[in-house]
Amino acid sequence: MKNMYKLNADELASCTVRPEDVSAVELEPGEIIYVRGKPVEFGSRTVCIVDRFNGYDMSCTMLRQALECPDDEWGQECIWPSRNVRAWAKAHGYPTVTVPGGIRPLVREGTVAVPDYNMSGTTWYLVPETALAASGLEFAYREDTEPPRRLE
């Protein structure tokens, strides 16, 4: 395990997990993490959103998202919900990611998560920042949180 980060999980909708129990963990290629006792291995450098991570035995209770990321350029960049931007992203066929619990997803630098609020708050369109800027649509970035910070 390379690093562990505290994420913005304020929107977490869970009866059993607190926002402070959710974190991001960087895993090196071939490193194994145990999710409820079952081993999960990734073939490339990956950043994962996990619940109740235990660094001693590399275990967690839930793996919410895994983002293959060969460099350190990732974060939780997203915009406020917008019906027009959502419809535009859907019409252009941008890929989606689902993150259980309604937390903001991890995205690579240069990508913005657009919430599909018609789905339950867990599905997000992943749109290149340049395409979103060139769309001519009005939107506002969510800047109400700090970027993920490394936990010591």
CA angle 9, 119, 130 (to 5 degrees): 70
* Residue 118, pLDDT score: 63
Contacts of residue 2, Cβ cutoff 8 Å, sequence gap at least 6: 26, 27, 28
Calculate the average pLDDT of the chain: 87
Q: How far apart are CA 31 and CA 2, in angstroms?
A: 10
* Residue 37, pLDDT score: 95
Q: What is the pLDDT of residues 55-80, one digit of tens each?
A: 889 999 999 999 998 777 888 888 98
* Residue 142, pLDDT score: 78
81: pLDDT strictly greater than 80:
yes
Q: What is the pLDDT of residues 37-47, one digit of tens each?
A: 999 999 999 99
Q: How far apart are CA 45 and CA 73, in angstroms?
A: 12
144: pLDDT strictly greater than 70:
no
Higher pLDDT, 116 or 127: 127
Q: What distances in angstroms separate CA 131 from CA 11, 25, 57, 110, one per listed residue?
A: 27, 29, 42, 10
